[in-house]
Structures are given as structure tokens and as C-alpha cells.
Amino acid sequence: MIVLGLSGSLTHDPSAALFIDGELVAAAEEERFLRDKHAKNRWPYHATRFCLDFAKVKPEQIDYVAFPFAEIGCTHPGRLHFAKRYWYAPDRALDALFNGNRHFRRNRRGILQLMEDFGIDAQRSPFVPVEHHLAHASSAYHLSGFKGKCAILGIDGKGEYATTFFGYGENGVIHKIKEFYDPDSLGGVYGALTQYLGFEMLDGEFKVMGMAPYGDPAKYDFSRLWESDGRDFKVNTDLVNVVGLRRYKDENRGYYFSPKLIEWLGPKRSGDEIDDPYIDYAAAIQNLLEETSLKLVETYLGDILRETGRLCFAGGVALNVKLNQRLLALDSVKELFVQPAASDAGTAIGAAAFVANAHGDKVKKLKHVYLGPSYTSEQCLAAIEKHPEKPQWRKIDNVPATGAQLLAEGHPLAWFQGRMEFGPRALGNRSILGDPSHRGVADRINAQIKYRERWRPFCPSMLDTVAPEILQTDHPAPYMTFAFTVAEEWKEKIPEVVHEDGTARAQIVDRETNPRYYALLEELEKLRGVPVVLNTSLNRRGEPMICSPTDALNMFYGCDLEYLMLEDILVTKVN
């Protein structure tokens, strides 16, 4: 059976994913092809074309087209809750009651048009909507590889109306236990504070998390943002998750917080530096998110966790690695699988997995996220020959050894090889690398290459042979979805990838999944005694991750990088 999953239901992060007989064979995000971060208000045309071409699937071979946004009935508690909680905006409240599926209708029109444009017959290959949070849940549960019963957690901004999902999976079936509904959204409040702290929603939440360790969470009491007794959860919509006239407005832009938040906390932060009191605000909201989430998890999933020890997690908040560290530290959690594409791009995977499972396919465990396009050295050379900068290049016989030598000399290296990663993390195929034992390499990459805030942390990729020693755990971590406390003896060895609080968001690399990247780490270990690289995504601030050789060359000549490895071709700016 062939199932095509498409996302873009909430006007951002459109993507496509293709399952064949239960196996995820291809997935890509539209932003990578358009070079437009989050590709807002677009449908996944390029991503769909890639998936079909890669798998050599013809439109008439597709059995189902799955989409992560469903029709919600008139009496559904989410619609009623929304109307009640947004009483101060009668137009929104009445719309929820009497026209609550207008977004679904827009989505359906858009996807049916895409299907028609690709020649996919909706009669033969039905359009199948899946509730948004069920798609998130499926993206984690069905691809986790867990056997038997396991707990499922979903936290994000919102889907149709739900914002937070607690449930469990057993024998391939997902069971709901509890949902919370808009505006009562943990992810929504974190997003509103992301805006207040001077960053963009959908993108800056990572920055708030990165800022938090510099601050003191005890300096400010943020409990007034929401009420929660561990069972119920209610956002203070006098302050955050506001709509209409309650929104704070500046330069004709409305924010998801109110002027009352400004009265309480002071002016909205601006600029790239981190300072008081904003670092403490970041620490306070991060701590509040963690503490509230843990209490809710105990209430709704505690018994299942003590029974099974297994937890699956998806939704945008699942990319908060500090929360994941706290979850993994729970006595009842023995195994935690976080969907690496946990945000809305990953719902294309989840919707397709849900439909494939519902129609009899056994969904296979996710082995890696190298699911996008790849390019041969010949294609890289063709891009080089066409590029206006007339790049200097040479063919490399031993790419891992040459790359490791450049890193050992202290040079940052752009590393382009294999299939592009799906999801927000660069995992060794579209990466900028550095030797984390060279002090100052992180500052150089931030200032001269990424052009991002100087305080932003970087992540390590490390060999599986040494990861348990460095991270003090043998829990799997192939996707940079967890923070771990770094062993004391390693903090001085790899200072450029250890954060302010002594943790690192690590990727553990194994030979089978990424042999060339593994070989690079082995070569660096021979030269420096450090089987770890600093790894950040191959892009500049505000851009999507690089997809093609041409994209890589354009970025290379738009920053101070001096070395770019394109498959077996080394491009340089030095003689």
C-alpha cells in the first residue's frame, strides 16, 4: 500500500512524506526547495514532487492521501470550550460555534487542488483527514518501534482546537485519555513569551530555551500566566494567548500577549544581546513549562508509565530538549522516543502513518531521518561550473580524513553529503562542523558564518563508542532531541558544545546509519583524541537548511566560510 502524507494545515511548515508498505521512504519540507523559512501559506508542491520522483511512484499508484487536520463536529467540546473562553471576542466565539470548520474546508480545497495538479484521482486515491493531534501522536507512536503498550504525549500551540494530548498506544491503536483546548495551550504561552522576548514564534522558541540557562528562574514568579493544579490547566487570557482587541500592537503588528503583560514585565525585549531581566524571564517560563508538564504527565500518564516505562512525545514543544531531559529523568520512564520532526512538518509523517496503520500496514520503526534529496559528485561539479563565483575546487580521495584534518587545524567546515535531513536538526548531511576542543570556534561560526546571536549554543555529534562516557547514559539519542549533563572530565575537552548549565544537546552517531560521518569522527579522534564535532545546520540566520549544491555554494559565498565539502569535491576560498 502507498500512502502520501501532506502537511501545511496551519499555514506553515508544509511537507510531504511517502510510505510504501508501512516504510517511510521519503520526506521533505517545502521550505527547503523554496528557500523561504516555514514556507507560510504555501502547499507542498515541490516536496510532493520529490517524494514521488524519488520512489518512482506514479499518481495512479497512490492508495490514500493523508492530511493532519480533520472536521470537528458541532458538539465537540473543543469548539464549545473555544467559544466560552474567547467570550471577549464575539466574532471568534460565534465563528467557532457556527462556522467551526472553515479552516478545514480551506485545507481540503488546497489539498484537493494539489492532488488534481499532480493527476491524483480523489476517487481512486481518497483524501483522508486525520485529527491534528492524532497525527502528532501517530508520528511518535507508530514510528517508535516500541513493542506493547506505551504512553503518548503531545504538546504544541494548537491543532483544530486541541493543544495538548495525553493517551496511550496498544496493538497499533491510539487511545485518547485527555485533551486540553485553545486558548489553554502550554505551547501557545511559550510562543507568546517567545514574541515578548524579541523572537519569532515557530522559530525563536529554541532561542528562549537557549537563553534560559543564563538566568535564574527563582527571581520571578510566572505562575500568574496560568492556573494548574496538576489536573486542570487554564491560561490567563488577560495576559497571553489573546486575540482581537486584547492583543498588544506595535507598528501595525499584533502579538499573542496583551498590553497588561508589558505593564507587568516592562518593555518587550529587542536586539541580539541577552541581559537582565530578560534572561531571568526566559528561565522562569522554561521552568514553569517543565514543572507544569511534569505534573500533568503524572496525572494522566503516570500509571501507564509505571506499567510500561515507555513514552512517545511529539508536537512543537517536544523539541524542547530541557523538558525532554526532565521527562527522561523520571523514575517511571525507561525509554523515551521523541519524533525528530516533532513540529507541524512531521504531521505529514504522522497522518500517513495513521492511515497506513488503519488500513492494515504494519508501520516500520524509524531508523533515520535522511529522507530528502541527494546529489552525486557529478551534479555537484555541474553546480560548481555554473556558479558565477567560479569556485576553486579539487577532488578528494579520502573525504573523512581530509575533513578531519581541516577541523583539527581549527577551521569550520561546511559538510554536504548524502540525503538531506527531515526535521529541524542537521545530523551530519547538511551541517557546518567545527572541532569543539578548539576554543573560539563557536564564536567564529556564530559571528562570521551563521550571523546569529553570539550567546547561542551549539550541539555535539559523537561516536557511539564514547557517548555513554560523555553523556553518562546509554539511552539512544540519534536525533538531538535530548539534553544530557556532560561528564566533568569532558567539559574541558569539548568546551564549545557544552552549554551554560553543563548540558549538551547531543547526537550519537552509529556507523550503519551514516558511515561517512562516522568515519569523519573516527579520523578526528585519531588527530585530536576527541571523537566529537560541533554540528550546526548548514544555513545562515533566517534561512532554511540547505538542500542542493547550488544552495550550498550560494551560502558559502555569502559568509566567511573557507571550506565546503560537496560530496567528494572540496571547494575553497584559499590558495
| Fold type of domain 186-337 | Nucleotidyltransferase; domain 5 (3.30.420)
pTM: 0.97
Instruction: Report CA-CA distances (Å) from 511 to 27, 474, 515, 521, 529.
Output: 22, 17, 5, 10, 19
Whether pLDDT at 64 is above 90 = yes
Nearest to 7 by CA among 124, 135, 123: 135
Distance (Å, rounded) from C-alpha 223 to C-alpha 226?
6
Which residues, in sequence order, are bridge partners of residue 167? 152, 176
pLDDT reported for residue 527: 98
Kindly report, as residue ranges, where domains of CATH 3.30.420.40 are found in the chain. 2-143+342-358, 186-337
What type of residue is 248?
A: Y
Question: 3-state DSSP call for residue 92?
Answer: helix
Within a 13 Å sphere around the CA of 380, how many CA atoms are in the beta-carbon half? Answer: 25
> What's the average model confidence in pLDDT over 19-33?
98
What confidence category does residue 272 fall into, taking pLDDT thresholds of 50, 70 and 90? confident
Tell me the backbone φ, ψ of residue 67, rounded to 5 degrees.
-140, 135
Q: What is the dihedral angle through the alpha carbons of 489, 432, 313, 157, rounded to the nearest 10 degrees? A: 120
Nearest to 385 by CA among 548, 559, 549: 549
The reply to whether 12 belongs to the active site is yes
pLDDT reported for residue 455: 85
Question: Tens digits of per-residue pLDDT, 506-558?
Answer: 999 999 999 999 999 999 999 999 999 999 999 999 999 999 999 999 999 99
Whether pLDDT at 158 is above 90 = yes
Question: Tens digits of per-residue pLDDT, 218-268?
Answer: 999 999 999 999 999 999 999 999 999 999 999 999 999 999 999 999 999
Question: 3-state DSSP call for residue 207?
Answer: helix
Q: Which residues contact 181 (CB under 8 A, 6 or more apart)?
A: 77, 78, 81, 82, 85, 161, 162, 163
Question: 3-state DSSP call for residue 337?
Answer: strand
pLDDT reported for residue 194: 97
Whether pLDDT at 566 is above 90 = yes
Tell me which of 273 and 231 has the higher pLDDT. Answer: 231
Angle at 393 between CA 391 and CA 397, to 5 degrees: 160
pLDDT reported for residue 87: 96
Q: Which residues contact 128 (CB under 8 A, 6 or more apart)?
A: 64, 65, 66, 67, 351, 355
Whether pLDDT at 183 is above 90 = yes
What confidence category does residue 575 fall into, taking pLDDT thresholds of 50, 70 and 90? low
| Fold type of domain 2-143+342-358 | Nucleotidyltransferase; domain 5 (3.30.420)
Domain at 377-572: CATH code: 3.90.870.20
- Exposure pattern of 154-170 as b/e (b: 16+ CB <10 Å)? bbbbbbbbbbbbbbbbe
Nearest to 210 by CA among 442, 456, 501: 456
pLDDT reported for residue 574: 74
Catalytic residue among 12, 38, 136, 438, which? 12
Tally of CB atoms within 10 A around 389: 12
Kindly report, as residue ranges, where domains of CATH 3.90.870.20 are found in the chain. 377-572
Question: Tens digits of per-residue pLDDT, 299-354?
Answer: 999 999 999 999 999 999 999 999 999 999 999 999 999 999 999 999 999 999 99
Residue pointed to by grid coordinates 517543565: 290
Average pLDDT, the chain: 97
Question: Tens digits of per-residue pLDDT, 370-416?
Answer: 999 999 999 999 999 999 999 999 999 999 999 999 999 999 999 99
Asked which of 109-123, 281-295, 445-459 is least confident by mean pLDDT, the reply is 445-459
